[in-house]
Structure formats: structure tokens, C-alpha cells
Amino acid sequence: MSVAAPPLLDVEHLTMRFGGLVAIDALSFAAARGEITAIIGPNGAGKTTVFNCITGFYKPTSGRLLLALGDADAGEVAALTASGRRWRNTAKGQIFLLERMPDYEIVARAHVARTFQNIRLFPGMTVLENLIVAQHNPLMAASGWTVLGLFGARRYVEAEARAVERAQYWLDKVGLMERADDPAGDLPYGAQRRLEIARAMCTEPALLCLDEPAAGLNPRESADLTAFLKSIQVEHGTSILLIEHDMSVVMEISHRVVVLEYGQKIADGPPDQVRNDPRVIAAYLGVEDEEVEKVEAEIAR
Amino acid sequence: MAVDAAEPPRTALRPLAVLKDALGTALLALGLAVPILALRTEQNISNELILQPRWNYVAIAVLAAFMARLLYLLVPALPRRRKASRKAGPRVTGRAISVAGLVLLVAYPLLALALVGQGGAIKWIDNFGIQILIYIMLGWGLNIVVGLAGLLDLGYVAFYAVGAYSYALLATSDPVKAFMAEWLGPNFWPLWAFWICLPVAGLMAAFWGILLGFPVLRLRGDYLAIVTLAFGEIIRLVLINWVPVTNGYAGITSIPRPTFFGLPFNASDSGFAAFFGLPFTPLYRTIFLFYVILALALLTNWVTLRLRRLPVGRAWEALREDEIACRALGINTTNTKLTAFAIGAGFGGFAGSFFAARQGFISPESFTFMESAIVVAIVVLGGMGSQIGVAIAAIAMIGGTEILRELDWLKRVFGPDFEPTHYRMLLFGLAMVLLMIWRPRGLVAFRQPSIFLRERRAVRADMVREGHG
């Protein structure tokens, strides 16, 4: 039996099929606690599908997605897997099998939050409201599932004030304090991206899954984003799982990079190692010119 | 503003182009009016079918279309001028309207009494006051489902019917009567039935809301609308065909009327009038009913406004904006939709049981699809999600059609055969078309945020989504 604590997220043999199409094929990787893990790969490699499986939007065809808050030993993990249950308390924390949980429960209980490739804010609600909606579950409990809140219970009023405080903290972090009372749909593109991350952080996640957060940002905005993500990881101890095409962001902040191609993992390691991996260079950054010639010659033969 | 977004920017008016456009519209109206209006078949004395030409009707229709188009093209400057003044603050005017409206509503029965005397007052309080308030309440109830949660429910009348029949069946059921007579005396049930059945009817409707909620949860948009519409029809057909229980088309009669908390409104010695030493008149019951439905409607409003500031209300609005994002934030969308359906249905049930108590008689005729359509129209015209807008729309739509009954002077203009009420639906449709042109997002085309940091600024309607169904 292994003695080492399990990583925060342990993906084992994750397979996702859509009819005859195998989007992800027996993918295994881990996201370490407190680190930034990047998933890269060419378009259509299955990166977003991995996210959708982790956050419960898709039910994986097979595989295990183990999330551990706190510590757990292999015996406890095996016991949970063998049982039909979705999570269990361990001696020093909780473990979850994400593939068994519906999407909202993954956020509420396992504390995995996500953002979307195409921004999904609530455009007709104000910036502040967006951040308050993100704190739905604690507020719902404080409002006595609406009954107490309807009569203005003190507990709810206080909880709401705390929620506003947390929202203000994140508004300050992403520099949107001035726009708190404006509709989210009115914000410029870069600000909407930042707001979406702030909104995800308001759910107090242990693992934050970001789907191309730098897409559509100019170099300056993307440098700001890099610093912001770094601060989330350092100051809040939130682990980050990142899909990104912007290599400057990926190489600068990630501790570990997983490379996908056609649903399969072709490399996994620290950025420097991945950067120099010939398979990655071939698959992701393109084949070198002389190799192209070689391949063409082979085809012609 | 939304108005600008809907209308392409107009360059300077060119009289010739405008005239051409208006003539085109007139031509279109002519094409439509000839087959519909020009000829009418009638039977003469010897029972033969003869054609009655009505070219004057065609002329009126074409002329009206021409003038309307001309007016529409020449008046676009209007909304633009209004923009500057509206920016000053819809919040202040909104509050002023609410307070003024409330005062007017509370004083309305007395006002009617003072203006038209006892004889006329009953009609004004009943046909206008109570009738409009029932629809305001229905509109506010449906506003939770359609306006806040963004779920298009075309079968809302089903819950209205469930509430009405729950009250009617419970209050007239023999076992219940016998049980109450045995335990609480023979006078208890006739006097208190309304007050006990009212909450029961609301709960019953809410329960049916949840029942309907389950199958429709997976549906969106058109599919949701169709299933809710079918549900409304199913309820009506059950009411028609389950004769042993509902008495079919004949309906349920002699439903106990509401009492003044145990004092019946009749001429007996133990009645309301005798108790307070007043001369008996049926007016008291009408006035009391008015205040009961006013209280129920205000309760609906209060609860809705309260819920909007609670997590459940914010989740409804978030659901309307983006369901996927809701799920990514840990909101259980199933439960959220169910609560919207249940609470909306519950208020529909309250209104239904009040309706049954006020009429004293109900039959399936009162719960046709037309009722659902009217309530949906009220919510849409009012501006989805706006409480005050819904109230204004209900007053305009229901009050407007009631007022048609009063317009006897029109007979002097159009001849003694002219019956204004026949044109009810026509005017209805016209009002809808006009509103959709001038205010495509309803009368109140902005959304009030539920919470603010420094300043409450209304959100323009073009930001707010309508929901996926």
C-alpha cells in the first residue's frame, strides 16, 4: 500500500466516447495540491471534454476521478470505490468520486469550480449580483432554505453582508470595484474574463478549472492574468487546472504540463521538459520543415 | 436604449418615400380586407343565401392602415426625446407610482361609492376592481415563473383551476361537512370554509406545480411551452369528463361564500350588517371581497419582492440568464425550477379559490386556454420581471375590455347594431402589436438589481435575457 497522500485530483483511465468517436482515451494524470497544472494540446484534442468530465457536465464512459480534500490512505480510497457511494469522510478529510456526482454537487461539496471557454456570465445581472449568485449554497443554508430569509432573519442578513464583503474582496482583486453596480454584459471583454474567474473564486474552490482564460486577451492583459492566477495559487492555496493556448502563460506559471493529442496523453511533466519533448513539438507546435519533406517523400513513395 | 436597438436609425424623412410606404401598407390591407370583409352571406326572408357587399368596411380598413402607417413613420422622434428625461431616475418615479397606486387601490371602493352611489358602485367594484385584481394576482404569480425564472408556462390556468376546484370540492363535500358538523358544530363549516380552504387550495396548486415541474424540467423553449399548454388542457378535460366528482359542464354550485371572519354577509340577525348595526346591503360583501383579493395580491407582491432578494430568487434570475453557468456555480437547477413552478402555481391556486368563492359557482368554461393566454400577455406586456409593469398591463388589458361594455355612446356613431364588446379581441391584438412596436420588452423595460454596492442603477432590457423557455 502506498503511504504517499493522494494528489488533489487523480484522473485514472478516463475514457469518454461519443457514439463511435473516442474523445478521450484512457487518460491518466494528476493535479497536485497547491500547484498549477496545465493541459495543452492542439484543437480538438479533448481538453475541454476532460474539463466537462471533471466538473460533471459529461458522465465519463469509464475511468475514475478521485478528488481528495485533506488526507486519505489507499484503503479508504479502495473502500469508497468499491461502495456505491459518491463520497466519504476519511480520518483526515474527505474523498470524492467525481464521476458519480452531478455537476452542482461537484461545486457545492467537492469544491471544484470552473470557467468557460466562451464566457458565461449572467449578463443582465450586475457585477455584484454575479458574485452573490456564486455564493448561492452558503446563503441558501443561512436563509433557512428561504423560509427564515423570507421573514428577514438576522442570520441571513449577516450572511448576506459577509457575502457582499467576499464579493468586494474579489472585485478589488480583479479591479472591478468601480463597476460593481453595472450589468455584467456591459463590461469589456477582458473584464468579463476576470469577473468570471472572480465569480468562480467566490464559490471557495479547492480546485479551479480555467478553460482558456487568456483567449482573446492582449499581451498586457494576459500578463496581468498570469500575475492574478499566480496570486490565487500563492495567497489562497487554490490549486489550478488550466487549459490554455497562450504558451507564455502556460510556461510561466504552471508547475506541470499535460499534453493531449487526439484524446491521448503524449507528455506529462514540468514545463521545461515538455517544451523540449520531440513528440510535443511535432504534435503541438508543428513538425519541422525538413521532417515535412521527409514525410511527403514517404507518402510519394 | 432598447427602443433604439430595435429600430434602425432613420435618416431625414423623405415625404415621397413615406407616402409610398404608407400606400404599400394600404395595398396590403386592401388585399387582406377584400376576402375577409368585402362580402357577407346572409339569409333573406325566403331562406336563400344572398351576398351582402360591405365595401364601406373595406374602405375604412384600408384608410385606417394607411393612416396608421403614416403616423408610425412620422412619429419616431418621440421615444428619442423621452430618453433624456428617463435617465433622471426610474427608481424615484417607480416608487411614486407604487405608493400612489396603493393609495388609490385602498381608497377605490370608497371612491366608487362616493362617485356613483350604491347602485353603480357594486358594478364598478366587482367588474373593475375585483376582476382586475384577480388578474393582477395571476400576473404576479406567473411573473415568478415566466419573468424571473424565464420558463414559458402556457398552462398557468391549470393551477387557477386546481385552486378553484380544490376550494369548491372541499367546501361542498358531504363527508367534510359531516365531519365538521360533528366536531365543531353545524355552523362552523359554512362560516369558516373559505378561510380554511384558501391555504389548502394554494398548497394543492403548489403540489400540482411540482407534479407538472418534474416532467417538464428537461424541456426548454418551445417544448416546455407545448407541454405546459397540454397540461392546462388535460386539467380542463379532466374537469369536464370526470362527472361523478366535478359534475362536468354543469359545474359546482352553491359554493360557500366568504364570511367576515365568521360573520356571513346576509340579512339574518347574525349577519355582518346586523352585527354592526348597519342596514343590510349586498355592497358590504363586494367591498369585503375587494379587500380580500387586494390583500392576496399584495401578499403575492410582497413575497415576490422578498424572494428576489433571497438566494432562491437570485438563482431564478440567474437561471433565466444562463442555466449552464448556474450549474457550474453549484446551483441545483432542478430544485430551483421546481420552486419557481410551485410558488407560481401556489399563488395561482390562491387566486383560483378566491375566484370560486366570489362566483359561488364554477365550471370548466372559466378555465380555458384563453385565460392562460391573457395572463401570459399581461406578463409580457408588463415587461418581464417587473411587478409594477404587470399591474399596469393587467389594468389596461382587463380594465380596457371591461370599459368596452360601457361605451354605449359608440352606438350613436356606428348605429344601433354596433356592439363594442365584439371588438374586444381585435383591440386586444391591436394593443399587443402597438406595444411590441414601441416597447418590444414590455412597458417597464428595465430590471432593478436585487442588491447594490453604491447606487441602484436599473439594468437596460437589452442586457437581460428572456430565458430559454
What is the extent of the structural domain holding A191?
A: 112-204
Q: What is the value of ipTM here, to two decimals?
A: 0.88
Residue range A76-94, pLDDT digits in tens? 888 888 888 888 888 788 8
Residue A180 resides in a domain: yes
Residue range B83-97, pLDDT digits in tens? 444 444 445 566 787
C-alpha A80/C-alpha B371 separation (Å) is: 54
For B237-292, give the DSSP string. HHHHH-HHHH-GGG-B--PPPP-BTTB-SSSSTTSHHHHTT----THHHHHHHHHH
Q: What's the pLDDT at B94? A: 65
- Mutant choice from A55, A119, A140 vs B, greatest count of B C-beta within 10 A: A140
CATH code, A176: 3.40.50.300
Residue A81 resides in a domain: no
Residue A72 resides in a domain: no
- Which of B333, B449, B454 lies at the smallest CB-CB distance from A129? B449
Q: What's the pLDDT at B255? A: 84
Number of domains in chain A: 1
Q: What residues of chain A lie within 8 A of the CB of B325, using their CB?
A: 116, 120-122
Q: Is the pLDDT of residue B14 over 50?
A: yes
DSSP H helical ranges for B310-445: 311-321, 323-328, 333-359, 369-382, 387-394, 400-404, 410-414, 424-438
C-alpha cell at B42: 346572409
Beta carbons of B208 and B345 less than 8 angstroms apart = yes
Residue A190 resides in a domain: yes
Over the range A61-78, which residues count as b (16 or more CB within 10 Å of their CB) and which as e? eebbbbbbbeebbeebbe
The CA distance from A172 to the nearest CA of chain B, in Å, is: 13
Q: What residues of chain B lie within 8 A of the CB of A168, using their CB?
A: 453
A148 and B CB contact within 8 Å: no
Residue A269 resides in a domain: no
User: What is the average pLDDT score of chain B?
Assistant: 83
Angle at A23 between CA A18 and CA A29, to 5 degrees: 135
Q: Is the pLDDT of residue B165 over 60?
A: yes
Which residue positions in chain A have pLDDT lower than 70? 1-5, 284-301
Q: What's the pLDDT at B84? A: 43
Beta carbons of B400 and B387 less than 8 angstroms apart = no
Residue range B382-402: mean pLDDT, rounded = 85
List Cβ neighbours of B111 (8 Å cut-off, separation of 6 or more).
Answer: B104
Residues of B near A (Cβ–Cβ under 8 Å) read: 303, 306-307, 310-312, 314-315, 317-318, 320-322, 324-333, 339, 447, 449-457, 459-460, 463-465
Residue A85 resides in a domain: no
Three-state DSSP class for residue B53: strand
Phi, psi of A62 (to 5 degrees): -155, 170
Residue A149 resides in a domain: yes
- What's the whole-model pTM score? 0.84
Residue A142 resides in a domain: yes
